Amino acid sequence: MFRSRFMEVRVRYAPSPTGLQHIGGIRTALFNYFFARANGGKFILRVEDTDRERYSDESLDDLYSTLDWLGIKWDEGPVVGGPYGPYIQSERFDLYKEYAEKLVDMGKAYYCFCTPERLEEVRKQQVESKSEYQGYDRHCAHLSDSEIKEYLRQGIKPVIRLRVPTEGKTTFHDILMGDITRRNRDVSPDPILLKSDGFPTYHLANVVDDHLMHITHIMRAQEWIPSGPLHVLLYEAFGWEVPQYCHLPMVMGKDGQKLSKRHGSTAVRDFRAKGYLPEAILNYVTLVGWSLDGSTEFFSKEALEKCFTMEGIHKSPAVFDYKKLDWFNGQYIRQCDDKRLAELITPYLEEAGYVSSPLSEADKNLIAQIVPPVKERMKVLSDVVPLTSFLFRDVPVEDKATYIAKGSDEENTKEALIEGSEILLAGLKNGKAESEIEEDLVALSQKLGIKVNGVFQPIRVAITNSTVSLPLFDSIRLLGIEETENRLKRAERLFEEK
């Protein structure tokens, strides 16, 4: 199935801890993880933390906690270790220096002593002359040994640059995109591999680590395609086998633009805080740019670990649909057993101040009663707060317009509220079946010549203080008949006021 000097699939997720884990990055992690599992291979986590200016401990903690929340376990990497560690780039600096020096010794790279001032002057001249050639002018590409020694004697610390061929082309094969070719003259001219402070650039560290960690397949976003030829040139300079590339389709918003904060939350932590379940995120995000058969939508993590194939990855950009994710999450919430769901919604009720922490027995009993009706109404776990607020905080709606359903008016709403309340309360007190009471309320709407919601909306708003609520009879059971009657009478008085 794959070609490599190794008999085992080895893939990696190598994020930079400079920001929170976002949907695009996590999709890359999931694709790599499931591909490894489906092929009996290894999933490696590597932390590329060479950008020390933007590095943050919060980002690193978020990486670990996000993967843990999703149930994604890495076979090798930070914390768990492995045979090719360390797996944090800042702990591998000696390796990068060693391999950069090897390229210098082989004549594939060279020391460059150009100052930032000189480089800026060269750039200005190229811009002013509108030169076809833009970039480093290879000023130090052919320094003699004596010139190099003199610079070093002066205490000038060099960078190490890759010697990129000026003629010919470089081609690499992408499993999805096919052969991708670029003229060598268009590759970044002699890019820096090792900075003067000893820090590696992304390109050197990435290639060295992928080789030393025996990575067989590199699955990463399509935005890295332009770096492909440069990385291949590095592999060839070292004389190493090039891993197989698979550049993943971009994740877009519904407007056709790359997914970003302007579309909504993109950080997985935000989705988690709002109340999306890990299994819903894992399932839906994996479907953003991949499918098994074009029709199956629901996959458990265990199923994806068996059925994921690289052939199922799409070439074209994939759309992240927030509404579709809501639908997925709602489906998974309804599949939850009541005990688990009670545990999941409790933190939201505690944060809202609706229940005590730790829970009292009364709170536990109430939450257990809340679960069945809210399960059918929630898209995300945090929905439990607005859906149940009427039970904990009685804030009556004093704007008559809120009670009036579309197509009705104030006079009909008043009659519907008064007569509907009488029908509802009489039925409840006399032990009438809920279905029969509902039929009587429908009959009332016909009598008044209004739509059914013209009767139910004012009653619902009176009882729950909201137009969006739990089912009517569930709300009444949780609230109690006495409190229900008090709220209905209060609403009637509102409409009797002039």
**If residue 96 lies in a helix (H) or strand (E), which one and from where to where?**
helix 93-105
Can you spell out the DSSP letters for 102-124? HHHHTTSEEEE---HHHHHHHHH
Measured CA to CA, the distance from residue 311 to residue 180 in angstroms comes to 19
Q: Residue 72 is encoded by which pair of tokens? A: 């994604």
* Residue 195: active-site member: no
Rounded to whole angstroms, how far apart are CA atoms 35 and 42? Answer: 9
Taking residue 27's Cβ as centre, other Cβ atoms within 10 Å add up to 23
Residues 6 or more apart whose Cβ sits within 8 Å of residue 304: 30, 34, 37, 38, 282, 283, 286
Q: Which of 310, 319, 220 has its CA nearest to residue 34?
A: 310
For residue 391, the 8-state DSSP code is H
Main-chain phi, psi angles of 251, to 5 degrees:
-100, 120
Catalytic residue among 157, 169, 261, 315: 261
C-alpha–C-alpha distance, residues 374 and 369, integer Å: 9
Q: Which positions ≥6 away from 283 have C-beta within 8 Å?
A: 297, 298, 299, 300, 304, 328, 332
Distance CA(228)–CA(172), nearest Å, equals: 7
Torsion angle, alpha carbons of 469, 471, 477, 478, to 10: -30
Nearest residue to 345 via CA among 331, 325, 359: 359
Total residues belonging to the chain: 498
Cis peptide before 158 (omega within 30 of 0): no
Residue found under tokens 């639908």: 327
For residue 338, which of 376, 300, 379, 293 has the smallest C-alpha distance? Answer: 376
Sequence-distant (≥ 6) Cβ neighbours of residue 141 within 8 angstroms: 110, 161, 163, 190
Dihedral sign from CA coordinates of 286, 291, 293, 296 = positive
Is the backbone peptide bond immediately before 86 cis, with ω within 30 degrees of 0? yes
- The catalytic residue positions are 261
